[in-house]
Structure 1
Amino acid sequence: MHETETAYRVASGKLQMALEIGKLSAWDRNLETNVMVGTATFKASLGLPSDAELTYDRLENMFHPADLERVRQAISFGLRTRTPFNIDHRIIRPDGRIIRVQVQGGAVFEGDKPIRILGVVQDITEREKIKEEIHLAQKRQEFLLQLNDQLRSLADPDAIMEATAQSLGRFLKVDCAGYGEVDDTRGIILVEREWSKGVIGNEGRAYRLYDFLPTMMAELRQGRPIYVEDIRNDPRADKPEVQAAYSTINARSALAVPLLKDEKLTAILYMHSAEPRVWSTDDLALAEDVAERTWTAVEKARAEIGLRETDARFRLIAESLPALVWILNPRTELIYTNERWVTYSGLSPEEALGHSWMTAIHPDDMARMQEELVPVVTQHTPYTTEARYRSHEGVYRWHLIQGAPIHTPSGEFKGWVGTSVDIHDLKVTQDALRKSEEQLRLALQSAKMGDWIYDSATQLINLSDRAAEILGLPGGASITGEQLQSRVHPADLTRTSHVKQNAKAARIPYNVQYRIRRFNDDALVWIASQGNTSHAQDGTLVTSGIVQDINESKQVEERQQLLIRELHHRVKNTLATVQAIVGSTARTASSIDEFYQGFVGRIVSLARTHNLLTEDLWQKAALEDLIQTELGPYADEARNRIVFDGPHVELPSEAAVPIGMAIHELTTNAAKHGALSTFGGQVEVRWRVEPGEERPILHFAWTEHGGPRVSAPTRQGFGSRLLQRVLATQLQADVSMDFPEEGLRFTMTLPIPGAPPLFNPDQ
């Protein structure tokens, strides 16, 4: 007996250990009393205290109503067939918690009557929860894979939004789902497709997000999803207008997931139901995943649509352009060309690709281009050049080649796209035009001409470099008509304006000469201007012409006229002077020889003065040259016989002739009777120029000393009359002659004819 009890205790211990390890509880139901007993963990697993009385009826009341009938059928079947039963079901514990248990048991019979049911129960709540989570995870993964396949097959962004809303709404068993893009400035979400109970709204909608929750936009901008489990009990929706907004869309619960790109709210995936709902973290995670996939698919579809549209436009433009259009890969191989290259080269579309373009370029141009392309290919830079392409007829024609590098948005270099425009006719025309322009430039340059054109739009006269130079402006300058008119000499302005206006009214060219002050140095110069006004194709007036520097020719012309007038005047004056010399010399000469010597000397002096004037085309003679001409032969540097000092003075011809003859008379008198007639005599000639009221004043002094003693002459000769009368009469000179014993002193003060006034610092 003792051994039997010991064996029972050992068996009971092993059973208890096995039950604990397997998290099992044993139970025993008396079929006559319906009382149930069990191990210590049995009642605890049911949420009952250990001392609670438990009958089977009470236990049945804890079964989940949906499982009760199924449990009864399993037990009844086991009793009827005398087989064990195995069933799992849910139990609602007194604390309201629902657990899932697995029950295994069997009946004990006495004869044919079951008296007891023994069994074990195991709490499988966590296991089933894990299984359910795994199942849901698998379902979500399958859903996402199917959604990916579905989105991958769609090319329309609206269709992608539609598929997303429909699939997610059905999977999460909500009443409505949608994907919308946010217009943050207006606070609205634009929805192209919205799913509702299997019905797709094909017309776009716009929701004001502020209508649904006051803080909705702020939270979404921060990337936080919006949960509403029951809008009627949500403290954030206590305002009537918010409740009305949800009532309008028949929603009690809602979930909105924001999508931020570059920290900016871009889109929202939302869903709502007509009944309250607790949104799980799995629901949120799935919605966030779907929102990201939807945005990626929509943006990809839009990019592909844009790419297709761009490619279609590119091909349309490429085929319509009057140029060879091409794309090169990084190895400079043609991967695309328009039909024009196929036609031009005579190659098939397949042969026209690759490096066919290199063999079509003129060898001389290709040799140059190979050097130019080295940095272009290595540095992926733009390229522009001109080269000759050989046509299928074997004729080379010039083309302007322009290529630009292609990079992907990520910066990857993909090659070049470019055009080759036929400029052969333009090149030929340019060469001819260049030669013509060069000939015109040389012709204008030799003729001292420049061209101009009047732009009616800007109202500017555009000058060529040569025309600008003539007017004293920098090359390529432009001026207004008012600026040009302001530089015209007042005496020529009226005549010039009339000529131009009359020519414009009659629509004929004009040609006018006038004086103008240059812009750079204010010098007064003569120019000749020619112009013509015509109508352009658009009806606007076009005026162009040339301007010529004629200042030098005008000066020559004026000088010729002056010389002619001067010649007439000088001939008359010279004849009168010669007549006076003959008469005066004859009256003072005591012999034929004396008459001859005096007459010849005076004629020679007159000739020398005239020589000085004719060297300057009868314009002026320098005072120092007149003195040097007469006194030069008597100079002796060792004895310092001749001394003259004074500033440079230019004398006009009307003053140079009488002053030159006066110096001749003084020199002749000094050589015959005065300081130059003896060994130690000396002549000093000094002059200065001072400002006058109208013209500069010349102060001239002739002083002799070291010669024979001097006394006043007893009679007045030609020289005295010349010095005192001619100079005073013709030049308004103040003349004085003194005869001290040491030598003659002659002074002369006169205004210089034709000279401009000098600046007087004392005035």
Structure 2
Amino acid sequence: MRLRDPERAAEAEALLQARLASGRYRDADEALCAALRLLEAQERGGADTRETFRQDLDALLRDLSDPVEAMAAAAGMLGRALGISRAGYGEIDLAGGTVRVERDWTDGSVAGLADTPRPLAAFGPTLVAELRAGRTVVIEDFRTDPRTQGRASQVAWESIGARALVVAPLVKAGRLTATLYAHESRPRRWTAEEAGLVREVADRTWDAVGRARAEAALRESEERYRTLFDLAPFALIIIDPTTHQVLDVNAHACEAYGYSREEFARLTIRDLDTLADSDAIRARARAGTIRPGLQGFEARHRTRSGELRDVLVRVQGMRLAGRDVTYGAHFDITEQKAAEAALRASNARLRLAIEAARLSTWEYDILRGAGTRAGPLTRVLPAVPSDREFEFRSWLDAIHPEDRPEAKAKFSAAARGEAARFEAEFRVRRPNGEWAWVSSFGAVVEHDPATGAPSRIAGVAQDITERKASEERRLLLMREVDHRAKNALSVVQAALRLTRAADLPSYRQAIEGRVAAMARAQTLLAEDRWAGADLRALLSGEVGPFLGGDGRRAQLEGEPVMLPASAAQPLAMAVHELATNATKHGALSVPGGQVRIDWTLRDGTLSLRWAETGGPPLAAPPEGRGFGSRVLDGTMRQQLGGTVALDWARTGLVCDIALPLRGVRAGR
């Protein structure tokens, strides 16, 4: 084909550059051949038969991937075939109000209509109605056609510079979406074959345009996906849900794990998962393909350098490149897990300190006018239900009338920020009607960011009834001691006065013996008693912090038992060590693991069994004797004189403890 015409040569160069930029051709030669075939088909458009035109049009459209280029090239073939002034596609907006042309073809005698939206109604309501009905509109001269009369229509028709035209509408899903127009600058009598050709080109081209737009949208979507995939600030790993083979990763995954994309392609997800649990990995991957939405779980992965990292994995199944894959987003939560562990340890230490001090904590929201209480002692602030909200008024009403004004004044002053802290001792009524002494201390811990006013006050409370009673007993005892001392002195004086002996040594021995007998009597009067501890509450308090908020993971079964003070703390230490071991290595280290604690009290001996199930299988007992084992031995055997038996069964650790509790009986 000759390209002596400068305009045609420029068109060939533009087509060539467009094909090179599209990326659909292997090299410049292939792109050049495609461009030449397109121009050759366009050149033949006006001379070949209609069948040849169809074939050339199909060949032309097959080579084009850009929708605008496809519309312009088809319009050019149609314009040359009909020998008209202008041809092109006009697209209708969603509301159907305007028609817009992106690019059209002209023979040079008229201007193009691109980039200037025009109101569709301006061309006459009759013509618009025919187009919306899907009928091809043929006008031989708009100045004489009755459908285009009216001043507004005439102005609109004059503005486009066409006297005669054929317009083929494209109605999709009941809506006018586009038109293919063939314009002639002079009046023209159109044949039925010409109108049919416009209709046929409109349908054929629009199908190709739809396909090209879908392909362009797909390419754009894939490009956006790839960009987001690579720029995601977390590791993205795509695996085969059956073989676990790594199919693709993003740049963040390479940076986080230390592998290149090529190295990742030789790995499976099992190579990263330190647990190496194939069944669990398979179940997670399968869940990501069959369940709707993201499925999340925690795992521990090893990087190329050997570093262990905790990760939160969210998986989603999808169809990618014709195959089922599992798409996993991996969020590094190592620091978060470490912080959570430190917080749990801190809370455990705080709880132990609170329990050791026999305290209860409370908070009060000054702005809402409601407070909450938490702590191990239900006797503290007995008017306030444990772990429930309370109102200031209900709390004040429970205070003894003699103590209420002072407590209210001190609390209000602290809540308003007028006092540095709240500190008071007062009596509150227990449910059984008795009065209990409470000592409470608090201070403002939060302020309103907007006003700076105090917004939350927190503190601790302690039941000091026993202390108050002890103080009263001490005063009574002091008076009694004073009385007894006077009596004792009187007795001593009497003994000195009445004792008789043959010599001084005999006298001294008699006096010392009597005084010693009196001292022993005073010692017996001064002895105090230790409070005991409820066994179930002790076990629940020690195991609870290790259950992650799911109380169903621990089952406690046994009769009510009150432990003597000498056994409470050692047993608490032993249970704490068992729970710690279960959290690190046993049943509480994995989801679904459970602990069961059973106990009985027979003939003064407490038999307690700790049994773990659902944890990692145990291959054999540990090789060494750890700190926990030494604590069990030191507290149960050496301190309390009991026995400890450890059974490292494959299903989980079983620990049997037997403690002699002399004088203790079941029940309360």
The residue aligned with 1:228 is 139
Kindly report which structure 2 residues correspond to 1:271-282, keeping only aligned pairs within 5 A, or say none. Answer: 271-274=182-185, 275-278=187-190, 279-282=194-197
- Contact 1:527-1:547 at 8 Å conserved across structures: no
Q: Deviations over 1:298-346 (max 9, x none)?
A: 343234224323322332x23xx1x322222444332221234334544
Structure 1 partner of 2:53? 139
Q: Distance in 2 between matches of 1:563 and 1:329?
A: 78
- Secondary structure in 2 matching 1:242: helix
Aligned with 1:230: secondary structure?
A: coil
> How many residues in Structure 1 have an aligned counterpart in Structure 2?
422
TM-score by length of 2: 0.52
Give the match for residue 497 of structure 2. Answer: none
Deviations 1:635-672 (A, max 9, x none): xxxxxxxxxxxxxxxxxxxxxxxxxxxxxxxxxxxxxx
**Letter paired with 2:334:** H
Displacement of 1:355: 3.5
Q: Quick one: structure 1 residues 396 and 335, their matched pair in 2 at CA, closer, same or farther if it must change by over 3 Å? A: same
Bigger mean CA deviation after superposition, 349-358 or 440-449: 440-449
Q: Tell me, yes or no, if the aligned pair for 1:464 and 1:477 is still in contact at 8 Å.
A: yes
Instruction: Summarize the alignment of residues 65-84 of structure 1 with structure 2, pairs less than 5 Å apart.
Output: none
What is the TM-score when the length of structure 1 is the normalising length?
0.47
Deviation at 1:517, TM superposition (A): 9.0
Structure 1 segment 672-687 matched on structure 2, within 5 A:
none
Q: Aligned pair 1:437/2:347, yes or no?
A: yes
Query: Is 1:397–1:424's contact at 8 Å kept on the other side of the alignment?
Result: yes
Q: 1:480, 1:256 → 2: CA distance?
A: 79
Structure 1 residue 398: Cα displacement: 1.6
1:224-264 CA-partner distances (Å, limit 9, x unpaired): 33333332333322323212211221222233333344433
Deviations 1:377-433 (A, max 9, x none): 566874322222122222322222221222479xx7642222222222322222222
8 Å CA contact 1:161, 1:298 repeated in 2:
no
Aligned to 1:169: 79
Q: Which among 299, 309, 333 is matched to residue 423 of structure 1? A: 333
CA–CA distance in 2 between the matches of 1:468 and 1:216? 88
Residue of structure 2 aligned with 1:403, choices 302, 310, 315: 315
Q: What is the CA RMSD across the aligned residues, in angstroms?
A: 4.6
Question: Within the alignment, does 1:384 sit opposite 2:296 as a pair?
Answer: yes
* Offset from partner CA, 1:19-78 (integer Å, 9 cap, x none): xxxxxxxxxxxxxxxxxxxxxxxxxxxxxxxxxxxxxxxxxxxxxxxxxxxxxxxxxxxx
Structure 2 counterpart of 1:313, which letter? L
1:85 corresponds to: none
Q: Which residue of 2 aligns with 1:295?
A: 210
8 Å contact 1:485–1:493 — kept in the other structure? no
Q: How does 1:193-204 map to 2 (within 5 A)?
A: 193-198=103-108, 204=115
Query: CA, structure 1 residues 178+484, in 2 after alignment: closer, same or farther (shift >3 Å)?
Result: farther
Say if 2:180 is the partner of 1:269.
yes
Match of 2:261 in 1: 349
Q: Distance in 2 between matches of 1:473 and 1:495?
A: 16
C-alpha distance in 1 between matches for 2:93 and 2:398:
65
How many angstroms apart in 2 are the aligned matches of 1:468 and 1:259?
A: 80
2:93 and 2:382 mapped to 1: Cα distance? 64
Task: Provide Cα deviations, 1:440-477, integer angstroms capped at 9, x if missing partner.
Answer: 33544562513437497xx5757365599868778765
Separation (CA, whole Å) in 2 of partners of 1:379 and 1:488: 57
1:590-643 deviations in whole A, cap 9, x for unaligned?
A: xxxxxxxxxxxxxxxxxxxxxxxxxxxxxxxxxxxxxxxxxxxxxxxxxxxxxx
Whole-Å Cα distance in 2 between the matches of residues 220 and 197 of structure 1?
26
Q: Alignment partner for residue 181 of structure 1, among 91, 100, 103? A: 91
Shift of residue 136, structure 1, vs aligned partner: 1.9
> Does the alignment pair 1:463 with 2:379?
no
1:149-168 → structure 2 map (5 Å cutoff): 149=63, 151-152=64-65, 154=66, 157-168=67-78
Measure, in 2, the Cα distance between the counterparts of 1:494 and 1:144.
97
1:335 aligns with 2:244: no
Q: CA deviation at 1:362?
A: 0.8
Change (3 A) 1:269 1:508: farther
Structure number with the bigger relative contact order (C-alpha 8 A, sep ≥ 6) is: 2
Q: How many angstroms apart in 1 are the aligned matches of 2:323 and 2:387?
A: 43
The separation in 2 between residues aligned to 1:521 and 1:158, in whole angstroms, is 88
What is the DSSP-based 3-state SS (H/G/I as helix, E as strand, rest coil) of the residue aligned with 1:361? Answer: coil
Q: CA deviation at 1:219?
A: 3.9
Separation in structure 2 between the aligned mates of residue 523 and residue 170 of structure 1, nearest angstrom: 108
Are 2:162 and 1:248 aligned?
no
**Structure 1 vs Structure 2: percent identity of aligned residues?**
23
Distance 1:483 1:162 in 2: 83
Instruction: State the distance in 2 between where 1:219 and 1:195 align.
Output: 25
2:447·2:456 contact (CA, 8 Å) conserved in 1? no
Does structure 1 retain, via aligned residues, the 8 Å contact 2:360–2:377? no
Structure 1 residues 295 and 344, CA, compared in 2 at 3 Å: closer, same or farther?
A: closer
Contact 2:72–2:105 (8 Å) recurs in 1: yes
Distance in 2 separating the partners of 1:367 and 1:265:
56
For the residue of structure 1 that corresponds to 2:263, the secondary structure is coil
Contact 2:182 2:198 in 1 (8 A): no
Report the residue type matching 1:309 in the other structure: R
Q: Secondary structure of 1:280's partner?
A: helix
Give, in whole Å, the separation in 2 of the partners of 1:179 and 1:521: 91
Q: Residue in 2 aligned with 1:531?
A: 443
Q: How does 1:85-124 map to 2 (within 5 A)?
A: none
Contact 2:273 2:300 in 1 (8 A): yes
The whole-number CA distance in structure 2 between the counterparts of 1:499 and 1:224 is: 86
CA distance in 2, matches of 1:135, 1:201: 28
Task: Map 1:617-636; keep pairs closer than 5 Å.
Answer: none
Unaligned runs of 5+ in 2: 1-45, 480-668
TM-superposed CA distance for 1:208, in Å, is 0.8
Letter in 1 for 2:123: F
Which residue number corresponds to residue 283 of structure 1? 198
- Distance (whole Å) between structure 2 residues aligned to residue 477 and residue 263 of structure 1: 62
Residue in structure 1 matching 2:224, options 290, 306, 309: 309
1:161-188 deviations in whole A, cap 9, x for unaligned?
4444444433433323332332242611
| Structure exhibiting the larger radius of gyration computed from Cα positions | 1
CA 1:205/1:449 → structure 2, altered by over 3 Å: closer, same or farther? same
- Aligned partners of 2:312, 2:443: CA distance in 1, in Å? 37
Q: How far apart are 1:190 and its partner, in Å?
A: 2.9
Q: 1:191 to 1:486 in 2, by over 3 A?
A: farther
Is the alpha carbon distance of 1:371 and 1:294 closer, same or farther for their aligned partners in structure 2, counting shifts above 3 Å? closer
Amino acid at match of 2:413: Q
Q: Which runs of 5+ in 1 are unaligned?
A: 1-131, 569-763
> Aligned pair 1:209/2:120, yes or no?
yes
Look up the equivalent residue of 1:178 and give its one-letter code.
Answer: G
CA distance in 1, matches of 2:133, 2:396: 72
Aligned-partner Cα distance in 2 for 1:486–1:178: 88
Aligned to 1:128: none
**Structure 2 counterpart SS, 1:351:** helix
Q: Is the 8 A contact 2:86 2:107 kept in 1?
A: yes
> Partners of 1:461 and 1:328 in 2: how far apart?
52
Asked whether the equivalents of residues 253 and 273 of structure 1 are also in contact (C-alpha less than 8 Å), the reply is yes
Deviation at 1:297, TM superposition (A): 1.8
Query: Counterpart of 1:307 in structure 2: which amino acid?
Result: E
Offset of residue 281 of structure 1: 1.9
User: Which amino acid in 2 is paired with 1:463?
Assistant: T
Cα 1:403/1:535, change in 2 over 3 Å: same
